[in-house]
Structure 1
Amino acid sequence: MQTTNRATQPILVILAAGMASRYGSAKQVDGFGPNNETIIDYSIYDAIKAGFGKVVFVIREEFLPIMRANFDHKLRGKIEVAYAFQDFNLQKFGVDTLVEREKPWGTAHAVMSAEQELDRPFCVINADDFYGFDAFQKMHNFLVNEAHDEEMAMVGFQIGNTLSEHGYVSRGVCALNEQGYMQSVTERTNIYRGADASADSIVYKEGEEEHPLAEDTLVSMNFWGFTPKIIDVARSLFPDFVQKNKNNPKAEFFIPTIPDYMAKMGLAQFKVIPTSSQWFGVTYKEDKAQVRDSIQQLVAFGAYPSALYAPARQVDTALYLEQ
């Protein structure tokens, strides 16, 4: 693994604030590897191998003890570790309106919450998605060699590599221009393999009508490469979003809102970096066994060691559960 010049290498931001309220049964902390490694463990392992120099966990403050217990010891000396708290204090983002909420304001709000830790190009991922080394390597190379305030990126996964055998999924379908830059990301719900098995078709359903999608259609899985400029833009948009949605407890300030705005306003362009990596995720509880089997196959193939971090240490997450 690469450990030199960590202070100048890109940062990995892991969005994990949503895992807090579901600890004990959360898919983010489920063990999938031979030594009970979580999906987060594999993401960090891949990021270190690719050359990232720092990892920032965006969490709820009350779960700092369990995060430190799980990660600080095994990452010490391998990568710089920091924690940022996603909370309900909106004044620090220029919002004076008092809003009652049971959960934070979404993924873009989570990135804004980490701004004090982000002084150079960074990558943002979900805590509960397995992306594969190829995605981290390509994003690291982009952030080191190409990223600037007018040139950012996202990794596009082939939709055929992101489906569940156990039900429909929602994906952000990317439209690209001839140069491979994002024109739009359209959220499509109810995506699944169609009944025409001979064509191995993928469709999304809108109303009562099915629309085909090519197997290699690129979709967003929330794997973004930014510079800190993205936070300035998010800050400028957030107060108006809160004002418009202060009475909607389900409204969320999502990351794609910011690149979409920046692209349309000519503030930046977003390169779509294709990967053929197989994405793994637990959309349905029935997916868990398949994800575990897939990771075990990667270990058997030699893509990962049987123990990512040695010596292993077990943490009793029940000790940290809300009573």
Structure 2
Amino acid sequence: MSDFGDSLGPLGYAELGQALSASSREGFTGELRVSGRPGGTFHLRDGLVVAAESPGAPGATVLLLRSGRLTGEQWAELVREAGGAPWPAAALIAHGHAGAAQLRVICVMALHDAAFAMAAGPVDGWERAAGGEPLAPVAVGEPPTRMMQDVGRKLTALAALPYPVRPDRERPRPAARHHARVTELQQELLGHADGRRTARDLAFRTGRAVYTVTVEMGRMLARGLLECAETPTPVAVRIPPQVRVVSHRRPPPQPPRPPEQTGPPVSLPRRTPGASGITEALTPRKHGASWKGFFRLRNGSAK
């Protein structure tokens, strides 16, 4: 399971696992705030993870609203009825929009998907902080070790695909011509892929788990249903050293030192009386609706 980074690039899986393991051993209660791309926050209670959210994965609210069980107006009314609570679980159940078991499944899905999104990107650092009640907590907390084992299996399955992708890397578009039969999820992704959206963008757009969308995108690229435009070569930029180094953060890369000059110093020609001086200029060179179906589709995994 240690080779998924070879095909997916550097990941934050190891750093994340270490931070969560330390918090679990100490029975930490509060927030573990992870900085990186995309980063996010874990909420722990007595060393167990009860919730997680990340800008790299749809949260419980997005998963619920995209299921089509209720409209945005109905959601706003439930929030008002619950006194402004961001996750009006009791009101959802009372009005028949969802059952208690269904809401628990959504919360667990959101937690695991956020953990996957954070581990699938680089982690720059982390810090602990006191925190309040999370948005959509699970009733029974997840042991961090078991949760990260699940994340590791997902990363391994993703790296084993013929076309490994990352949630924030590839921006595919539908292939010019294809006559293959597609599933409902594949048809949905074909309708939203436009060459500018990543798997993360498509997950938010469709209300699916980012892991599910990322795996399906890799399969569709391998089958020729999707294609990626040629990625331009990035331009190297020299980054100056940072003055401060924050604890639990990797030190910033240092720029290479310029080569030492070994020959005699070069001086400009001195202008003498009566001479015209320098006559040439140096210019830069130019270069040229049932719940059963909803949970089956949104919690898929690579086989």
Query: Which TM class, normalised by the smaller chain length?
Result: under 0.3
Normalised to the residue count of structure 1, the TM-score between the two structures is: 0.22
Of structures 1 and 2, the larger Rg is shown by 2
- Higher relative CO (Cα under 8 Å, sequence separation at least 6) belongs to 1
Normalised to the residue count of structure 2, the TM-score between the two structures is: 0.24
